Amino acid sequence: MAMSDRVLPLAHTPERATTETAATKAVLIGIAVLFLAAILFLPLVTVFMEALRKGWGTLFESFGDPDTLAAIRLTLLVAAIAVPFNAVVGLAASWAIAKFEFRGKNLLLTLIDLPFSISPVISGLVYVLLFGAHGWLGPWLQHYNIQIIFAVPGIVLATVLVTFPFVARELIPLMQSQGTSEEETALTLGASGWHTFFRVTLPNVKWALLYGVLLCNARAMGEFGAVSVVSGHIRGLTNTMPLHIEILYNEYNFVGAFAVASLLAGLALLTLLAKSFLEWRFAGELAAAARRH
């Protein structure tokens, strides 16, 4: 459900690079379509079918369950904190990396990619090691009675960590390709740093930013592994939608599980739609930017 895999924008169809016959082509396309249908489409349909197995009434009833509502609320809250945070920090990091020269830049680049390359479970465990009762900061936190893991702040932190690269990864290449001359021009024209950022830098990357935010959001709502480690699974309190789905499923409440799953899948599909729209918009902008030089 988590949409972690990047789908590269297929902006243009390349000219025919190979000389396969039409038959080969048809077979290859057929295989790809069949594969997608079996691997992606069928499971998705199953989710919605299972949710509806006992009819619409039962489906809607399962959304009346206070624990389910709490899980939906928590997921939205976590996304509402993690996504804007990552958007702002990702933007700042990309800006620093793309527009300035400084020591440790490569290290920062590697760090940004780190959450992609380590397992989400480890991302979660890192926080247990940091904030757990026996972690580095555990005793200090306990002294001040601050609860980080097994509470909402821990879930937010784990989500922030796992979804951090989405915005920065989207922005850095674009900002690098755009260079610094527009900003420098703005500065010589007397614009302040803020004015330059909001009037020149930001408008130039707004579509990419939005695209990164959408990917980030999809993952933030769908993240299971890292959140599972720091959640504590307290019903109605620290279960996000993905965790709650597992719980419902384990309680033989299949309709309930698939009802929440289809809501999550629905949100993901919406995100995907918005993303495709942006890809289409964004491809146009990129092509225009390329033409200009």
Partner 1 sequence: MPYLTRRSIALGAAALFLSLGAAQALADRALLNVSYDPTREFYKEFNAAFAADWKARTGETITIEQSHGGSGKQARAVIDGLQADVVTLALAGDIDQIASKSGKLPKDWAKKLPNNAAPYTSTIVFLVRKDNPKNIKDWGDLVKDGVQVITPNPKTSGGARWNYLAAWAYASKQLGGDETRTKEWIADLYRNVPVLDTGARGSTTTFAQRGIGDVLISWENEAFLVQKEFGAGNFEIVVPSLSILAEPPVAVVEGNARAKGNLDVAEAYLKFLYSPEGQKLAAKNFFRPVDPSSADPADLARFPKVELVSIDKDFGGWAKAQKEFFADGAIFDQIYRPTN
Partner 2 sequence: MSVPVRVRNLEKTFGRYPALKGVSLDVEAGELVALLGPSGSGKTTLLRAIAGLEQPEAGQVLFGGIDAGSLSLRERRIGFVFQQYALFRHMKVFDNIAFGLRARPRASRPPEAAIKARVLELLHLVQLDGLEARYPAQLSGGQRQRVALARALAIEPRVLLLDEPFGALDARVRKDLRKWLRGLHQRTGHTTLFVTHDQDEAFELADRIAILDHGRIEQVGTAAEILGHPATPFIDSFIEGIARREARAREWTKPHAVAGR
Binding site for partner 2 (CB under 8 A): 181-182, 184-192, 195, 199-200, 203-204, 288-289, 291-293
Closest CA to 133 of 123, 121, 145, 119: 145
Q: Which is nearer to partner 2, 58 or 204 (CB)?
A: 204
Angle between helices 120-131 and 152-163 (to 10 degrees): 140
Q: Which does 293 bind (CB under 5 to 8 A by kind): partner 2, partner 1, none?
A: partner 2
- Of 116-124, 137-145, 266-274, 285-293, which segment contacts partner 1 by CB under 8 A? 137-145
**CA separation for the pair 79, 71 (Å, rounded):** 12
Distance separating alpha carbons of residues 216 and 31, to the nearest angstrom: 31
Shortest CA distance to 56 belongs to which of 263, 255, 276?
255
Q: Please, what is the minimum distance in Å from the beta carbon of residue 25 to partner 1?
A: 37
Q: Identify the burial level of 167 via C-beta atoms within 10 angstroms of its C-beta, where 0-12 means exposed, 13-18 middle and 19 or more buried.
A: buried
198 binds partner 1 (CB under 8 A): yes
Eight-class DSSP state of 136 = S
Helix or strand run (H / E) with residue 187: helix 181-188
Q: Is 6 in the site for partner 1 (CB under 8 A)?
A: no
Pair of tokens at residue 72: 């939906």
Among 54, 118, 232, 269, binds partner 1 (CB under 8 A): 232
Distance separating alpha carbons of residues 128 and 134, to the nearest angstrom: 8
CB of 75 to partner 1, least distance (A): 13
Per partner kind, with CB cut-offs from 5 to 8 A, the member of partner 1, partner 2, none near residue 45 is none
Question: Which of 51, 87, 162, 168 is close enough to bind partner 1 by CB under 8 A?
Answer: 87
190 contacts which partner out of partner 1, partner 2, none, CB within 5 to 8 A by kind?
A: partner 2
Query: What residues line the site for partner 1 (CB under 8 A)?
Result: 77, 80-81, 84-85, 87-88, 128, 131-135, 138, 142, 145-147, 149-153, 156, 198, 202, 206, 232-237, 247, 249-252, 254
